[in-house]
Structure 1
């Protein structure tokens, strides 16, 4: 049975979420149609471009993504603090980039004088828009509906482009976050199309490193947690890139089962055994449903959400709770 989204997304639990959407008509929607031979690879750029544009409007940052031939992954960070600081004008302006604002909101932007009742009503509406602009479901809706309309118009057809609802996983701690991001970044290698990995966050980060920078369109790496922690991913960029490179080499079918002794430092810090880490690189999405993290953290969140049980709790204990070799 499909669970309500409210039981899977809680900002009090974590700001990080992994979302996945899959196409209904399979590979030729974003890849190559084996029957006609027509190449639809350019549609992946539609998805990537739309992701970036929406991230500029929503109080959401992209931590990782991979656009594949028939599905895409995206890891999002919800910036509740930023959204809470938006003025009425900024919320309305952002909302108007996606939807038509009410006549009351338009009058406010034009500088018209509003009476007390109108101001009260406007604040109620803007409060709702503010919530939606940091809501993952609204982000995914704006992303998927736009792409579906473009593809259906080009194909001269109607109907679903995406399979039902998108899938989401709450990443509750650093281990879950690192494992999920690596899983997403390694998608092309896992699918044996590493040469065609342009539409991934790891490719963007590698290109930016060459110029000594981090991509402005992606949530930056800011190093380990500390008292004056800025917004960003709690790892060092070079350590993460080293980890992904090391992991990718072991995903090569010719090398599976062979683990070298020189494991990346970040794995030791996270306390995940190399063997378990490489297993997660291949199976993260299928092993966990909804809540992902150490058993202790998952149990705390379950208590907060009044959930008695969560799928994958055994795997949380096995892979994300303690080092075992």
Structure 2
């Protein structure tokens, strides 16, 4: 099976878990510099190399490279997690999102079709819900008013996957991830950058008075959901496309100020806060309705925030030193 974005945060853990389950896993990643590539190489060394999982350097926006990858390895199952992430960065470098999230995804869909992949599992995002005032967010809610280009590309992925699934009858499943955190995470995420700054005694930027709420979801829960869904594709009934989307979130949104207090407790340091206005592209809250996920695979994330942050904090002190 193939895991794209295998040097990334979620991708590395998913590839490692599938390898531990006894599957032959091929990983790929373009090792871009959105954040330090050294962290990606460290993930590969710590999580993939010991399990014999190769992580091939590959640019998915290059159709010829994608075709060669599929022709050589012929994966039966594909977990597509490679993407240009980040809401705020999409305001600075929109071209990166078009290439990675649209062109790259189109190349993946075409390769899956040509090589008759049995199931494509791909990353969407809670960002597709935009500034939805109805909470918790349900998969049946409207998602046609994205407030960032990142969100627009992820909604586009869902539409593209649906059309391919409908036309060519291959199962595809989109995963709307909610604020994933944990060891080996992304430095651009608040929990990671706050930890770095707090341990150095630096100010941390907190937007909208710290009143924004996020559904923090621990990495182990994400991996469990991904693996269960991978082996349970949607079955087409009554002419419907074999396509579905699922929320994967903790179903327990936390105010950012409360999150900071928990991080202070875990790290044993006091945060120095620099309050700033709400940023373009941000949303007031994310909150996952996980009933569909639970009904489909009998699981939903539930790791308490403090427990997850304790694990992250312990990893960070080791990694940073």
When normalised by structure 1's length, the TM-score is: 0.24
When normalised by structure 2's length, the TM-score is: 0.24
Say which structure is richer in strand.
Answer: 2
Larger Rg, first or second structure (1 or 2):
1
